[in-house]
Amino acid sequence: MVPIMTDHTPTAPAYATVRLSPKADARAIRHGFPWVYSDELVLDRRTKALKPGTFAVLEDAERRPMAVVTVNPASRIAARVMDQNPDAVIDGAWLQAKLARALAHRSRLYDQPFYRLVHAEADGLPGVVIDRFGDLAVIQPNAAWSETMVDVLADAVVAVTGVAQIIKNGEGRARALEGLPEEMAVLRGDAPTAPIPVPMNGATYMADVMGGQKTGLFFDQRPNHAFAASLSRGARVLDVFSHVGGFALAALAGGATQALSVDGSANALALAQQGAEAMGVADRFQTRQSDAFAALEALAAEGAVFDVVICDPPAFAPNKAALEAGLRAYERIARLSAPLVAEGGYLALCSCSHAADLTKFRNTSARGIGRAGRRGQVIHTGYAGPDHPLLPHLAESGYLKSVFFRL
């Protein structure tokens, strides 16, 4: 009798096993926490010998399988959960399923393909950031596994999204913590020869995906740009730490009479100027290249006054060790910017430091405003846009906050 052939389902690969130490909280992993720190993992000789980025089955202290993880014995985050099914196979098909789920969410949100496609652990791809700029995607493989599988990941991105160009941005502090080198590379297609115009909130931003900060543009502030623009009709606007004109150009699209962008990077300001020209608002737009603290002091000495002031600095407190110094810097920003706000005007202060939680940041900002001799009411608190989902178990995924005061 001829046997009936059935579809073959590949068996799970023979992944190594790693084990939680008895003091580790296995319940946290089972309930969704995605990291295992080095002091929570049994780092015996066999585990220490695993190549960074190796996939393994994580067992609890009683040797019961819990999940498939990626292991990096050299990192403080010794293991990251890839899949809570210990029989999962991490391959191109698995990556495509994750990407398809991420894309379905963004496609509901935005009618044009400009957004963060993957927000690391919150989208189930630990350490991976992917920003999409129309027909181009920028991948930041910030964990060892994604560096090892970056070509498979690029193929999956093309299969799911249809983009023609993929840039690898291998720069930043996160890669250093994983022991990865800094490098830029073109993975698919050709490198763009000019900045990419990105439409958001009625404004046009110019993204330099090869030489700009991060992936070339900050999509996370999109809803906060929109709220600032709603305050800016007929207003004079100051945008400090403006990068490529984030808040300023949105304000001009919202009807601001004039906007001044301040940034330390001449290249970023040149891109902001190009954006203003593309929008047809260059006659209402000015730039000033300067250290932000020095610019705030100089503007005060000049007697400058604005109806809306926004300060969106880099992460002054990127970790707990830098928290106190970072909070002092945020307080100083508030103290120097508050005197520039007209009576009844608005001051927006932003932080992308996950170590400084909302309460600490808001209180520090209010203290700085008070020390400037001003008083304010909080009218709005903003966060990153919905293309930057927050994993409830991981505070680091909810790093951005923007507090709007009326002075």
Q: What is the pLDDT of residues 286-311, one digit of tens each?
A: 999 999 999 999 999 999 999 999 99
Confidence of residue 5 (pLDDT cuts 50, 70, 90): very low
Asked whether 242 and 311 are in contact (CB, 8 A), the reply is no
Q: What is the pLDDT of residues 60-118, one digit of tens each?
A: 999 999 999 999 999 999 999 999 999 999 999 999 999 999 999 999 999 999 999 99
Position 224 pLDDT exceeds 80 = yes
Position 205 pLDDT exceeds 80 = yes
Q: What is the pLDDT of residue 174?
A: 87
Q: What is the pLDDT of residue 11?
A: 56
Q: Domains in the chain, ordered, with CATH?
A: 16-83 (2.30.130.10), 92-188 (3.30.750.80), 196-406 (3.40.50.150)
Q: Is 202 left (phi over 0), alpha (psi -120 to 50) or beta?
A: left
Report residue 141 as tokens.
């493989």
The sheet that has 77-83: what strands, in order across it? 16-19, 54-59, 65-71, 77-83, 35-37
Q: What is the pLDDT of residue 212?
A: 77
Q: What is the pLDDT of residue 388?
A: 97
What average pLDDT does the chain have? 94
Q: What is the pLDDT of residue 268?
A: 96
- Active-site position among 228, 259, 352, 403: 352
**350 a catalytic residue:** no
Q: What is the pLDDT of residues 344-389, one digit of tens each?
A: 999 999 999 988 999 999 999 999 999 999 999 999 999 999 999 9
Q: What is the pLDDT of residue 214?
A: 82
Q: What is the pLDDT of residues 252-282, one digit of tens each?
A: 999 999 999 999 999 999 999 999 999 999 9
Position 312 pLDDT exceeds 70 = yes
CA distance 25 to 290: 48
* Residue whose tokens read 């580790």: 24
DSSP β-ladder status, 377-383 and 401-406: antiparallel
CA distance 338 to 296: 10
Q: How far is CA 344 from CA 165, 306, 376, in A?
A: 47, 11, 9
